[in-house]
Amino acid sequence: MLWAALLLPRLGLDALARSVPDADARMQQLALVSRDQACPLIVDAMPRVREAGVRRGQTLAAAQALFPALKTAIRDPAQECRLRELLAGWAYGYSSQVSLREDDAILIEVGGSFSLFGPWPRLERRWREELNALGITHRFAVAPTALGALALARAQDGALVGNAATLRQALDALPIGHARLDPLVVEALRGMGLSRLREVYALPRAGLIRRFGAALAEHLDRLRGAAPDPLPLYRPPDRFHARMEFDHEIESSETLRFPLHRLVGDLCAFLTSRDGGVQQLAIVLEHDPLQFRQRAPTRLAIGLQSPQRDARTIFELCLLRLQASPVPAPVRALGVQAENLPPFVPLARDLFDEARGAQLDWPQLADRLHNRLGADAVYALAVSDDPRPEHAWRKRSIAPAAAPVRRPGPRPGWLLRRPLPLRGEPKRILAGPERIEAGWWDGGDLRRDYYVIETQQGQRAWAFRGIGGEAPWLLHGWFA
C-alpha cells in the first residue's frame, strides 16, 4: 500500500478565507486567535502578517505591537471540521480508503489509484490544480505508511518514498518534531540531547519503553511499518449540507455571489467524488437570531429537469434564483443543501456540432427561466383526463412528461376558443359520431356527438351537434 498525506498547514485561515473575495484587503492583514478571552494567542496569520514577525503562540498584544494594522478573527474548529469533511469527500473520488484521523491532514491510499489516474506525478499535478481552485493551502508526501507520509510532508512538500527500505532512510534523517510524538515526549527526548529520529531508533527498546511507555515504541513501529496502523475510514454522506458564516450582516444578493460560488463549487466536487448529480437543491439564508427572532431562515428552492453536476450551470441557476428573490433581512450565514443525490448520466453530444457549446439546449433554457421567473411562470402543456374539449389540456411542470392520455377519436390541431355556428351543411361526414357526455360532476354538463367533416370549401373540420341530430352544426376545430 502507498499512502498520500494531504497536510493542511493553514486549515483555519483557508476555512475563513473561502467566504471572502480574494481582493478583500482585510484578509491580507488577518490573524486567527484562540477563544481564550483572558489571554488570546495567535493561532495562525497571513503571510503579510508573518513577515512582520507575528508567530503562532504569541499573545495578541505582542502581535499588535509588531503589526499595528492587524485584523483578527476567532478560530472556529467547527468550520475547520466542515472543510476537512469537504476535502475528504473530494479525496473519496480518487480512493475508497480515506481517513480523517488527523486533525490537520487527510490520509489517502493511492496505490490502487495509479491504474485509473496515472502515475503519482500526474495525479499530484491534478490534485494540486483542484485544491488550488478550492482555495486550499496544502503539502503532499507519499510513503508506504500513513504516519511516514505525514512526517515526510512536514519535512518536504512533494516527497515520494516507494518502499520500506527507502522509508527507513528518509525517516532517520527527520527531526523528532516531525514524527507526531507527544509534545512532552519530544521535549524529554530533546533534553536527552536527541534531535533526529535515527538517534531515537538507536536507543535500546527496553529502556525506551521503561522510560516513556509502550505507546512510544508502538508509534515508532507504525511510523516505519513494523506494526499495523488501522485507520478509521471516511464514508461520504447521502446528502450535502454546507454553510458559511459571516462576521458582518449582508443585505444584497450581489454580495452573496462570492460565497455562493464557493459553496456550489464544493457541492460539485462532492458530487463528482460520489459520481452523482443533483436535481433539487436549496439556498438557505440565515438571519441574525437576536434581531429577527421570529424570522425563520429563508429557503430558495432550485430545480433542474435532470441531474447535473456542472459547477457553472448550477451556479448560474442559483444566482438567477437568488437575484429574483429580494433579501428579506440581513444575512449572517449562507448555506447550500441537497437532500437527494441521484446518479449522474451525461447527456450525449454531437461530435461535430461546433455551435452546441455556445447555445443553450431546451432543458438548460427551461431551468434558467424556471429559476429566474418562478415555477408558476414557466410551464408545459399536457393532455387532461377530462374528455370535454374545453378542458382537454392543463398546465404541468416542465419536467419530462408521463405517457400522454389517449383519446378514442381524432382530435384537431387547432381547437377554437369557443364553438362557432357552421356555415351551411357539411359537404360530407368523414368520421363519427363520437359521443361525449361529461361534466355532470362540476355543473358543466354537456352531451354532444362529434364528427370529422369536410366543409363546402373542402376543409377538414371538427364539428358537433346535440344528441338526436336535430340541433344546428357547431364548428369546434380545424384539422391540418
| Ordered mean pLDDT values, 10 residues apiece, the chain (480 residues) | 95 86 73 86 92 92 92 90 92 93 95 90 94 92 96 95 93 94 93 94 93 93 94 91 85 87 90 86 84 76 84 88 84 90 68 48 63 66 76 70 60 85 87 83 82 88 82 87
Q: What is the predicted pLDDT for the residue at 356?
A: 47
Residue 139 has phi, psi (to 5 degrees) of: -140, 145
CA atoms of 183 and 190, how far apart (whole Å): 11
> What pLDDT score does 110 carry?
94
Model pLDDT, residue 358: 47
pLDDT of residue 405: 54
CATH of the domain spanning 240-346+359-373, picked from 3.30.70.600, 3.40.190.90, 3.30.1490.100, 3.10.20.30: 3.30.1490.100
